[in-house]
Chains A and B, each alone.
Chain A
């Protein structure tokens, strides 16, 4: 079995978010980068578990510059066998999906995992686009996956309950909580990551379809007003006149 896991590099959750270039670019200086959590904790770990149970190889793929090698090495330390980096700026979801699709087409994977969404741009769409470009079924927001040969039973969380799907053959799955447990890479893993293959390929000639015009930060939170529990009138008045929600 050949598993492909798409990983994205995102700022650590404690990063201070600032913008440059007239609010059209995220300020990357002094940012601590990590693998996108759902990619790492759920997609990558589940792929590794399947490989451990049934054999095969786990490849991670990332679209980005050489500075991304650091997070790619972490994926290798956690247990991926090899890595591919498409050497290009991941300018939009379509561009990223098309680059991964080009690689996946040539290599032929049995199962492709992505995380549910990235915590920086929250686009939700790379997995779906990728499936479309590869002409494969796509299951989003998977919380559980069991394999029986090349048939998979996938549990999705839906509003108020669960949905169980069955799919056969190569497909793309986006993973969320429940799929696996985070693995901290052990020291042996970290040491072996150094020697695992990380192949750099040049980007294919696709162009992004969208362009970021600007970002705006949410307005700073104003002070909290505490209203006495008995003073319903005051509360109603404030909600009406100040918060203007009723």
Chain B
């Protein structure tokens, strides 16, 4: 493995390859590289959210969908809705990284953010990726400005995670002029005001197919607004199609290829969800810091208590890590898009292919980002004490609103299974050679261990080495499990879940170290000192988690000497250097408390 590491270091690595290759800090994208124009775009989105959305959160939450529509129109005027659409269809044509900065800001707008995400993502992208030229000309300019609002109808009462089992039917009329759609969709975001629905239905019984259905079509009706736990201001209803006639030219993509639309759109959706919730985590962390600075108990601000500092630091650390992983992936996808465009591919096609290349990372990010946000909103409630339990403070709303992110765009269970499943599939298809390094690791374990820290000179070099070594733990466990269960590994979900957690943690920890190294290289080691603290605290937790998840997995499928051998290997591969995490968290908390906001 070491040899491949050096050789590949200068290039952007392929999707999923982070598990077997190392990345070079000099080529990793970080938010510190934001350019002046991106800063202005982000500032614009921030002003919009702070001035136009925040003052109305309560009204929005009470179900004022007209206001949501007005705000969507305003977002459209500003260019936010069409930001990533090509200019020839009325969009702004900004690149992938720029779009990430916008998502982060929109992610701080509670229910309204969900309306924007559903419209620009699952609502608009199917047409961009799979529409005919006529369909694109007809719909995209309106979607870019917000003149048309979109909703996406995939889920049904009987089919959620198992989306392809949808029962909604589309039958071609005898003269071939139109389809008749019959069925029921559920949990449809933006359905209350959408102008067009992207609908998935079975043609000829089992050919899963997409359609563009104008909301004004006859025989469409809506259920009542769902009474939800959170994002109460987002319109979510059932949509009934009772003999809805749709012109044949509204077929989206090919008959029987609807799954491609549904899944490919989700890759981008998962990435974007992570960018949005990372923005949310920043806002929530700021909320907790401000409260902790204001609230006094025992004659001092609660921010002065170690227990509170521990929480604030952890919120900051995880948010920063989630941000690092987000922009690292953003940069990879962005670069891949540019490379593909150079080969003559159109921008939108390149985006589709690039996101598919990094589908493993997108699934990882979806889980990571949404769980970091959930950690933050939970601790924010705790920092607020009783006030955290009151609707008078924003902590309660943030707590409720965050929860949906672990459910939609593929539940976190589904995304965990996908992340590991896709990696294994890449290995079986020989797209990614996981088996050679996995075998090498088994061999390494039977040889005398090297305790030296060779090659660990440099900023966070031994931490990076620890991450590389932790990857071996994943390969050890996943490799052995794959060998044991072969194709039936899919049925061993608990093991897949443990492997997924190991994978997510390692990707996150590595992203943090790379970013801190990059900051050290660009701004000096002193400027990077606090980031090194963050990376080290996170790494410490990662190694513990990789060890405990690996252990549980191994004990589930190995026995006797083989088990002992693997447990010994796991221990060796997750060894952490002693590090005073308490002191580090205090330094991180001090910075946050002094600045009275998330400032990492």
A-to-B contact residues, CB < 8 Å: 70, 73-74, 77, 182, 184-188, 190-191, 193-194
B contact residues around A190 at 8 Å (CB): 37, 40-41, 44
C-alpha spacing A188/B77, complex, angstroms: 10
- B51 on the interface (CB 8 Å rule)? yes
Interface centre among A184, A185, A193 (most CB of B within 10 A): A184
B residues 20-47 near A (Cβ < 8 Å) are 36-37, 40-41, 43-44, 47
Determine whether the beta carbon of B47 is less than 8 Å from that of A194: no
A contact residues around B43 at 8 Å (CB): 74
- B352 on the interface (CB 8 Å rule)? no
Residues A77 and B51 in contact in the complex (CB < 8 Å), given A186-B79, A187-B78, A187-B92: no
B contact residues around A70 at 8 Å (CB): 36
- Which of A73, A74, A184, A193 is the one whose CB lies under 8 Å from B78? A184
B contact residues around A182 at 8 Å (CB): 51
- B94 on the interface (CB 8 Å rule)? yes
Determine whether the beta carbon of B51 is less than 8 Å from that of A185: no
Residues A191 and B37 in contact in the complex (CB < 8 Å), given A182-B51, A184-B51, A186-B44: yes
B contact residues around A185 at 8 Å (CB): 40, 44
Least distance between B165 CB and chain A CB atoms (Å): 41
B-to-A contact residues, CB < 8 Å: 36-37, 40-41, 43-44, 47-48, 51-52, 77-80, 83, 92, 94
B contact residues around A184 at 8 Å (CB): 44, 47-48, 51-52, 78
* Inter-chain contact total with CB atoms closer than 8 Å: 38
Determine whether the beta carbon of A194 is less than 8 Å from that of B37: yes
Which DSSP category, helix, strand, loop or mixed, fits chain B's interface?
helix
Minimum CB distance partner of A185 in chain B: B44
- Which of B36, B51, B52, B80 is the one whose CB lies under 8 Å from A187? B80
C-alpha spacing A70/B92, complex, angstroms: 21
Minimum CB distance partner of B46 in chain A: A184
Determine whether the beta carbon of A187 is less than 8 Å from that of B94: yes
Determine whether the beta carbon of B77 is less than 8 Å from that of A186: yes
Which DSSP category, helix, strand, loop or mixed, fits chain A's interface?
helix
27 A-B pairs in the complex with CB atoms less than 8 angstroms apart: A73-B40, A74-B40, A74-B43, A77-B40, A77-B44, A182-B51, A184-B44, A184-B47, A184-B48, A184-B52, A185-B40, A185-B44, A186-B44, A186-B78, A186-B79, A187-B44, A187-B79, A187-B83, A187-B92, A187-B94, A188-B92, A190-B40, A190-B41, A190-B44, A191-B37, A191-B92, A194-B37
C-alpha spacing A58/B36, complex, angstroms: 23
C-alpha spacing A70/B37, complex, angstroms: 9
Least distance between B143 CB and chain A CB atoms (Å): 15
Interface centre among A74, A184, A187, A191 (most CB of B within 10 A): A187
A contact residues around B83 at 8 Å (CB): 187
C-alpha spacing A121/B92, complex, angstroms: 39
C-alpha spacing A186/B73, complex, angstroms: 13
A contact residues around B44 at 8 Å (CB): 77, 184-187, 190
Determine whether the beta carbon of A73 is less than 8 Å from that of B36: yes
11 other A-B residue contacts (CB within 8 Å) besides A186-B78, A187-B44, A190-B44: A73-B40, A77-B40, A77-B44, A184-B52, A185-B40, A186-B77, A187-B79, A187-B83, A187-B92, A188-B79, A188-B92
C-alpha spacing A73/B41, complex, angstroms: 12
A contact residues around B77 at 8 Å (CB): 186
C-alpha spacing A184/B50, complex, angstroms: 11
Minimum CB distance partner of B594 in chain A: A16
Least distance between A67 CB and chain B CB atoms (Å): 12
C-alpha spacing A188/B79, complex, angstroms: 7
Nearest 7 interchain pairs by C-beta? A187-B79, A186-B78, A190-B40, A187-B92, A184-B47, A186-B79, A184-B48
B contact residues around A77 at 8 Å (CB): 40, 44
A contact residues around B48 at 8 Å (CB): 184
C-alpha spacing A187/B77, complex, angstroms: 9
C-alpha spacing A112/B202, complex, angstroms: 66
Minimum CB distance partner of A190 in chain B: B40
Least distance between A121 CB and chain B CB atoms (Å): 24
Least distance between A70 CB and chain B CB atoms (Å): 6
Least distance between B92 CB and chain A CB atoms (Å): 5
Least distance between A59 CB and chain B CB atoms (Å): 20
Least distance between A196 CB and chain B CB atoms (Å): 13
A contact residues around B78 at 8 Å (CB): 184, 186-187
C-alpha spacing A186/B144, complex, angstroms: 13
B contact residues around A193 at 8 Å (CB): 40
B contact residues around A73 at 8 Å (CB): 36, 40
C-alpha spacing A77/B41, complex, angstroms: 10
Least distance between A184 CB and chain B CB atoms (Å): 5
B contact residues around A191 at 8 Å (CB): 37, 92
A contact residues around B40 at 8 Å (CB): 73-74, 77, 185, 190, 193
C-alpha spacing A191/B47, complex, angstroms: 17
Least distance between A111 CB and chain B CB atoms (Å): 27
C-alpha spacing A187/B47, complex, angstroms: 13
Least distance between A35 CB and chain B CB atoms (Å): 11
C-alpha spacing A194/B40, complex, angstroms: 11
C-alpha spacing A187/B40, complex, angstroms: 9
Least distance between B72 CB and chain A CB atoms (Å): 15
C-alpha spacing A186/B80, complex, angstroms: 8
B contact residues around A186 at 8 Å (CB): 44, 77-79
Minimum CB distance partner of A34 in chain B: B43
B contact residues around A187 at 8 Å (CB): 41, 44, 78-80, 83, 92, 94
C-alpha spacing A73/B40, complex, angstroms: 9
C-alpha spacing A193/B41, complex, angstroms: 12
C-alpha spacing A190/B92, complex, angstroms: 11
C-alpha spacing A188/B94, complex, angstroms: 11
A contact residues around B41 at 8 Å (CB): 187, 190
Interface centre among A70, A73, A185 (most CB of B within 10 A): A185
C-alpha spacing A184/B52, complex, angstroms: 10
